[in-house]
Chains A and B, each alone.
Chain A
Amino acid sequence: MSTLEIKDLHVSIDTEQGNVPILKGVTLTINTGETHAIMGPNGSGKSTLASTIAGHPRYTVDSGSITLDGEDVLSMSVDERARAGLFLAMQYPVEVPGVTMTNFLRTAKTALDGEAPSLRHWTKDVKTAMAQLRIDADFAQRNVNEGFSGGEKKRVEILQLELFRPKFAILDETDSGLDVDALKVVSEGVNREHSKGEMGTLLITHYTRILRYIKPDFVHVFVAGRIAEQGGPELADQLEAEGYDRFTAQTPVEA
């Protein structure tokens, strides 16, 4: 059992207009086996939270802490966090020139495990996972994300989730840009991995529709850089019916 603990996290970014605070005291604990949904309007800071956990250099942590089983995540480099078991499925995965998917997946797996995977098993695992996510086999020879459609990029993120088997997966709007079929395929991928019982999931989304396929244990409503309300799955239903208006009215967005 692992625990990812975020305590009173304050995060800002440097812009041309100066330093802008974005996260204003986020506290959240996720355990192995749990699925937490973070829902919130555009610009509320959901991606900022996800990127800060992964260690993106653009974000400055002003105060608060993130720990993984007691280890200080904030003092780790980006790659160390990944090797510690954190995985971020990105909202906008970048195209990496010059590196084929095959080469990338193998290199990442080797870095994550500290040893090269057995070639025979690995090739089979990759093929199977790709087939399950309905990713064409010829994607393996293409450069990472290069020329992939939005939906294809998201599938490839989940492909990595299944192959890398992290302790905690942070899925940043993995549902956006997916049609219904793709949404199902991708959700099944997440559920497959989650059902092994060795992963905690932080599911960031703007819409409730993915929650029909991935069942959250907890729902947190994120507004203006902090959690405005939390509850069980019923909170998602309420949001679906009422929208975010109630929360945004209560908590005026500061610039």
Chain B
Amino acid sequence: MAETTHTEFTPDTAPDGEVTDLGDLDEKARLGAPAGAVDSSSAIDGFTEEGESLSSGDTGSEQLGLKKHSHGNAPVIPEASRGERRRSFDIADFPTLTGLEEDWRFTPLKRLRGLHTEALSASAPAVEVTGAGNVTVETVGRDDVRLGASATPEDRVSAAAWNAFGDATVITVPQETVADGEVMVSVRGTHAEASAQHILIDAKAFSKAVVVLDHQGSATLAQNVEIVVGDGAELTVVSVQEWDDDAVHVSSQQAKVGRDARYKHVVVSLGGDLVRLTPSSILTAPGAEVEMYGLYFADAGQHLEQRLLVDHAVPNCKSRVTYKGALQGADAHTVWVGDVLIRKAAEGTDTYETNRNLILTDGARSDSVPNLEIETGLIEGAGHASATGRFDDEHLFYLMARGIPEKAARRLVVRGFLTEVIQQIKVPALEERLSESVERELAAGNL
């Protein structure tokens, strides 16, 4: 492991002397120690792994045992629990960003092009919805009562977007309706002025649909995507970021998941100067299952960040998170933070999250921080894994020594690595397009 600093800790705000955390990875992150940061200069060959797997059987005393600790002099403002993060529609509730906040510490604020400081008053990228005929699509005003009913901003940019958007797009999959095709939501930006956008996807009880948000063009966009997965509904939301090189996109994608519902969220971030997604799944009733996938491929200079939250607030839900990233070129930077919160009431929870990164060239940096917070020992299982590998000259030599030409060798590695996530989309045309995009990325990197 490139960074093996282990920062053990005593939770200073644990209620009633109870420990709210297992493992130390989450603490490293919270305390701002250099957890999981791997850059190409320090990464070692192949994959480095860290992770742990917990189950109800071993969440006993040894897991809960407190250890004395010391930690680095991190400037980051710690947060007591992910569950206590401020939520508000009022931008004034979020102090002006300094970059020291736990949830902004990896984001280069200077490159947000004013999303965190400006009025976001320019026209938002055009939204066009095609596909399924039995799904309702509306453009509504800010005063529509459905907006903001299911998701509350969790950060300053999200709150700013909430206060600035003009019309909103509402996509409703009616109750017990199976969408008769994919719902393609094309979001096309045409300029770089800061703007705000709100999209609501409402999958009613026992409905079934796949909704693809396809972001392209040029934009400086603060966006809230509010997602409701009704009881027994089955919803897949795919958010594709294939922006032009100059785009800046900060998007909060919060889903409220109902009883026995199945929710799948897939992030594909390829294009844009800075893309920061905060997808979350709030499990609100028992029996729900959530899968969250992500694929990102950062080129020279790109910053691609994803911060996830799975909030297990109720019993007997299941979640799986799998994010994979590839990086190539000078100053390519990716960030993955996976917060999984198992609240006191969430007995019987079964969760596992994993993030893997592949560094293809020198000069790229990947940060990977899994955070698992567990407030009850009565769970099925909880685990996380984070691994960052580096493709270097020795790997290349090995493959070429078996007759595989250089370009094919690199493609083989990257394709093999990323395919797992692309296959999750299950929209053949889109899968094909994204595979081609990945190939183009490789070609563009002169690999």
In the bound assembly, the distance between CA atoms of A200 and B414 in angstroms comes to 35
Tell whether, in the assembled complex, residue B405 and residue A95 are in contact, meaning their CB atoms are under 8 Å apart. Answer: no
Q: Which of A56, A97, A98, A108 sits near B402, CB closer than 8 Å?
A: A108
Which residues of chain B are near A164, meaning CB under 8 Å? 402-403
In the bound assembly, the distance between CA atoms of A87 and B402 in angstroms comes to 7
Q: Does A158 contact B (CB under 8 A)?
A: no
Which residues of chain B are near A232, meaning CB under 8 Å? none
> Closest CB of chain A to B327's CB: distance in Å?
13
Residue with the highest number of chain B CB atoms closer than 10 Å, among A77, A83, A107 = A107
Tell whether, in the assembled complex, residue A57 and residue B402 are in contact, meaning their CB atoms are under 8 Å apart. Answer: no
For A87-101 the 0/1 string (1 means CB < 8 A from B) is 110100111111110
Q: Which of B398, B404, B416 sits near A94, CB closer than 8 Å?
A: B398
Q: Does B406 contact A (CB under 8 A)?
A: yes
Tell whether, in the assembled complex, residue A111 and residue B395 are in contact, meaning their CB atoms are under 8 Å apart. Answer: no
Given A90-B398, A97-B389, do A112 and B403 touch, yes or no (CB 8 Å)? yes
Q: Which of A83, A95, A103 sits near B403, CB closer than 8 Å?
A: A83
Q: Which residue of A lies closest to B326 (CB)?
A: A98
Interface residue ranges of B380-412 to A (CB < 8 Å)? 389-391, 393-395, 397-406, 408-409, 412
Q: Which residue of A lies closest to B46 (CB)?
A: A95
Q: Does A182 contact B (CB under 8 A)?
A: no
In the bound assembly, the distance between CA atoms of A50 and B11 in angstroms comes to 55
Residue with the highest number of chain B CB atoms closer than 10 Å, among A57, A79, A87, A93 = A79
Tell whether, in the assembled complex, residue B401 and residue A88 are in contact, meaning their CB atoms are under 8 Å apart. Answer: yes
> Closest CB of chain A to B151's CB: distance in Å?
35
Which residues of chain A are near B391, meaning CB under 8 Å? 97-98
A interface SS class: mixed
Q: Does B413 contact A (CB under 8 A)?
A: yes
Q: Does B417 contact A (CB under 8 A)?
A: yes
Tell whether, in the assembled complex, residue B46 and residue A146 are in contact, meaning their CB atoms are under 8 Å apart. Answer: yes
> Closest CB of chain A to B298's CB: distance in Å?
16
Q: Does B45 contact A (CB under 8 A)?
A: yes
Which residues of chain A are near B403, meaning CB under 8 Å? 79, 82-83, 108, 111-112, 164
> Closest CB of chain B to A122's CB: distance in Å?
15
Tell whether, in the assembled complex, residue A107 and residue B400 are in contact, meaning their CB atoms are under 8 Å apart. Answer: no
Tell whether, in the assembled complex, residue A98 and residue B389 are in contact, meaning their CB atoms are under 8 Å apart. Answer: yes
Q: Does B47 contact A (CB under 8 A)?
A: yes
For A72-90 the 0/1 string (1 means CB < 8 A from B) is 0000011101110001101
Tell whether, in the assembled complex, residue B397 and residue A107 are in contact, meaning their CB atoms are under 8 Å apart. Answer: no
Q: Which residue of B lies closest to A144 (CB)?
A: B398
Q: Does B358 contact A (CB under 8 A)?
A: yes
Q: Which of B46, B47, B401, B412 sits near A82, CB closer than 8 Å?
A: B401
> Closest CB of chain B to A102's CB: distance in Å?
10
Q: Does A54 contact B (CB under 8 A)?
A: yes
Which residues of chain B are near A97, meaning CB under 8 Å? 46-47, 358, 389-391, 395, 413, 417
Q: Which residue of A lies closest to B388 (CB)?
A: A97
In the bound assembly, the distance between CA atoms of A90 and B397 in angstroms comes to 11
Which residues of chain A are near B409, meaning CB under 8 Å? 79
In the bound assembly, the distance between CA atoms of A230 and B358 in angstroms comes to 47
Given A94-B46, A95-B46, do A78 and B400 touch, yes or no (CB 8 Å)? yes
Given A78-B401, A90-B398, A97-B417, do A103 and B412 touch, yes or no (CB 8 Å)? yes
Tell whether, in the assembled complex, residue A98 and residue B417 are in contact, meaning their CB atoms are under 8 Å apart. Answer: yes
Count of residues in A whose CB is under 8 Å from the partner chain: 31
B interface SS class: helix
Which residues of chain A are near B414, meaning CB under 8 Å? 98
For A211-250 the 0/1 string (1 means CB < 8 A from B) is 0000000000000000000000000000000000000000
Which residues of chain B are near A82, meaning CB under 8 Å? 400-403
Which residues of chain A are near B358, meaning CB under 8 Å? 97-98
For A7-21 the 0/1 string (1 means CB < 8 A from B) is 000000000000000
Tell whether, in the assembled complex, residue A104 and residue B401 are in contact, meaning their CB atoms are under 8 Å apart. Answer: no
Q: Does A160 contact B (CB under 8 A)?
A: yes
Q: Which residue of A lies closest to B413 (CB)?
A: A98
In the bound assembly, the distance between CA atoms of A83 and B114 in angstroms comes to 55
Which residues of chain A are near B402, meaning CB under 8 Å? 82, 104, 108, 111-112, 160, 164
> Closest CB of chain B to A157's CB: distance in Å?
10
In the bound assembly, the distance between CA atoms of A223 and B129 in angstroms comes to 74
In the bound assembly, the distance between CA atoms of A95 and B399 in angstroms comes to 11
In the bound assembly, the distance between CA atoms of A90 and B393 in angstroms comes to 15
Q: Which of A79, A99, A146 sits near B405, CB closer than 8 Å?
A: A79
Which residues of chain B are near A112, meaning CB under 8 Å? 402-403
> Closest CB of chain B to A187's CB: distance in Å?
22
Residue with the highest number of chain B CB atoms closer than 10 Å, among A95, A96, A100, A108 = A96
Which residues of chain A are near B405, meaning CB under 8 Å? 77, 79, 111
> Closest CB of chain B to A59's CB: distance in Å?
11
Q: Which residue of A lies closest to B395 (CB)?
A: A96
> Closest CB of chain B to A172's CB: distance in Å?
11
Interface residue ranges of B34-71 to A (CB < 8 Å)? 45-47
In the bound assembly, the distance between CA atoms of A104 and B394 in angstroms comes to 16
> Closest CB of chain B to A93's CB: distance in Å?
7
Tell whether, in the assembled complex, residue B408 and residue A111 are in contact, meaning their CB atoms are under 8 Å apart. Answer: yes
Sample of 7 further A-B pairs with CB below 8 A, known A77-B400, A112-B403, A160-B402: A54-B397, A55-B401, A97-B390, A98-B414, A98-B417, A100-B416, A144-B398
17 contacts between A and B (CB under 8 A): A54-B397, A55-B401, A79-B401, A79-B406, A82-B401, A93-B398, A94-B397, A95-B47, A96-B413, A97-B46, A97-B391, A97-B417, A99-B412, A103-B412, A108-B403, A112-B403, A146-B46
The residues of A with any CB-CB pair to B shorter than 8 Å are 54-57, 77-79, 81-83, 87-88, 90, 93-100, 103-104, 107-108, 111-112, 144, 146, 160, 164
Task: Across the A-B interface, give the 8 residue pairs with the lowest CB-CB distance, nearest first.
Answer: A98-B417, A95-B46, A97-B389, A82-B403, A108-B402, A78-B400, A112-B403, A111-B403
